Amino acid sequence: MPGHFEPLPGGGAAVALDDVEISIIRSLAVQLLELIGPGPAEDEKPADPLAELFAEGPSEPPADPVLKRLFPDAYGDPEQLPGSPEEAAEQLAHASEFRRYTENDLRAGKRENALAVIHSLNELSAAGEGGAVLKLSQAESRRWLGALNDLRLAIGSRLEIGDEDDADDLYRLPDEDPRKPMVMAYLWLGGLQETLVTTLMP
């Protein structure tokens, strides 16, 4: 079990984490929450649930490259849209419209996933020192899976990993390279993500 998730009888997953691993994942999840930003305050939410459902979000892609990776344009990179300038402009308009009605929900979902990770790790920390075995239900496993994916996307964006060829070069970095710890975290989270996916397979 050390270093990877294993399925639990009856559903769910478990992984053994030491104090350092718990601290790293919690810290990364907190940073992700800060990057995504807070949700609307209770007094800012529409009183009508239907109005909240159709509340408008941003129509332009985020400036931060990590957020741009987490919330990509629905029609791909605007700079690489095919067709004539008129067709590209039309696709950009559709992408803006799509973003306006979906990004708030996407942010809320990613926020909830990160919070689920933090809460479950806080419960582990309260149980004592020296590490522990984290046990997740199937629903919790799916939240963890979403958060792990977002964390890897965020780290991959900071490391400018565009595809597996980029990643291969980073795997061979010398120990003195300042990016090495981030690369190691990227690889480790990838292993956790892969084994967690396996536990969710029928």
| 23-74 per-position pLDDT tens digit | 999 999 999 999 998 866 545 555 555 555 556 777 677 888 999 899 888 7
Kindly report the backbone phi and psi dihedral angles of residue 200, in degrees, each rounded to the nearest multiple of 5, phi listed first: -90, -10
Contact between 149 and 115 under an 8 Å Cβ cutoff? The reply is no
- Beta carbons within 10 angstroms of residue 183's beta carbon: 20
CA distance 183 to 168: 11
| 108-145 per-position pLDDT tens digit | 999 999 999 999 999 986 656 667 899 999 999 999 99
The 10 Å CB-count burial string (b at 16+, else e) for 92-114 is eeebbeebeeebbeebeebbebb
Residue whose tokens read 């990838």: 190
CA distance 79 to 85: 11
pTM of the entire structure?
0.83
